[in-house]
Amino acid sequence: MQEGSDFLKVRSYARQFRRLYKLNATLTAISWYPTSKKPSKATITIDSIKEIRLGKTTERLREC
């Protein structure tokens, strides 16, 4: 993850975005690229992650 991992962000069937996610050097936050947000807004701390879902378990993915 520190070198970056490519994932697909799915908003709907027609709105899918490829993102590169990177773990910061201190292993405390994840940032993504490209984004139209300010760099400070395109970052999430590891502490704030509540759940990780594997596979097509989200409502958005079931709709696709």
Q: pLDDT by residue for the chain (64 residues), tens digit each?
A: 778 889 887 777 788 888 999 999 999 999 998 878 887 889 999 999 998 777 666 676 666 6
Q: How far, in Å, are 13, 32, 57 from residue 62 at the CA level?
A: 10, 24, 7
Model pTM greater than 0.75?
Answer: no
CATH number of 5-63, picked from 3.30.470.10, 2.30.29.30, 3.30.2320.50, 1.10.260.40: 2.30.29.30
Quote the CA–CA distance of 36 and 26 in Å, as a whole number: 24
The domain segmentation of the chain, as residue ranges, is: 5-63
